[in-house]
Structure 1
Amino acid sequence: MIVRTLKDCENSERNVEGGNWKSVRMLLKDDKMGFSFHITTIRANTETPIHYQNHLESVYCISGNGEVETVEDGKVYPIEAGTLYILDQHDKHLLRGGSEDMIMACVFNPPITGKEVHDENGVYPLVDEAG
């Protein structure tokens, strides 16, 4: 059994700063669960281009508000507490923080190693444990 607290993960190398966002990576590839789990804060009044070409992601909003726009068709979806959005087609999207920070629970498949940050195209590269 693995037991971790958010507080412990926040005070470790699992807390990754991304500028418009912060990701606390509680479950990673080396835990061998087949997915990774993060608590991510999307900062208010920001816009982040994202395109997970190598990963699928499900995102559940715990608190806050914002919106996600799918780039291909320009559709905009409001996000508030209780909203789940699923990037099941490697959707290129714009994630916008609203008037307050959004706290999100995120699941990635395949799992990330914890070293990933968005590249210039908003992509997480596939990374092995060696980096």
Structure 2
Amino acid sequence: MKVKQLDEIIGTKDDVDTDTWNARRLLLRKDGMGFSMHDTLIKAGTETMIWYRNHVEAVYCIEGEGEIELATGEVYPIRPGMLYALDGHEKHYLRANTRLRMVCVFNPPLTGREVHDQDGVYPLVEDNELEARC
């Protein structure tokens, strides 16, 4: 069994802060669960272009208001209690009107250091690459 506390992650290497979001990475590939789970803050007034080409993601909003706009032009409001699942690797814009707090789950699981590249993609780190970095 695994037990973790958010306050034990804040300020560590598993607390990844960027210009538009801050992901507190609760479960990672190294935890062996087959998925990763993150407590993520999307900063108010920001827009992030995202394309999870290598992952599927489910997102559950627990705080704040914003929207997700798919490349097709479809726009969905985000508010507490809303879940969206990017099961088709959809390119999208994530916009935060206020600070959003989201619970995010990824498959395959993230290693912990991923940030979006210029195309909004998280790289897919192979196990042999991960071992070489350690």
Kindly tell me the number of residue pairs found equivalent between the two proteins: 129
Equivalent in the alignment of 1:127: 125
The amino acid that maps onto 2:57 is: E
> What's the CA shift for 1:126?
0.7
Q: Please, which runs of 5 or more residues in structure 1 have no aligned partner?
A: none
Q: Tell me the percent identity.
A: 52
The amino acid that maps onto 1:20 is: T
> What's the CA shift for 1:29?
0.1
Tell me which protein shows more helix as a share of its residues: 2
Equivalent in the alignment of 1:103: 101
Within 5 A, what are the aligned runs for 1:80-99? 80-98=79-97
Within 5 A, what are the aligned runs for 1:1-80? 1-71=1-71, 73-80=72-79
Aligned residue for 2:111, secondary structure, equals coil
Name the CA distance, whole Å, in 1 between partners of 2:61 and 2:101. Answer: 6
> What's the CA shift for 1:11?
2.7
TM-score normalised to the size of structure 2? 0.94
Q: Please, which runs of 5 or more residues in structure 2 have no aligned partner?
A: none
TM-score normalised to the size of structure 1? 0.96
Structure 1 runs of 4+ aligned residues shifted over 6 Å read none
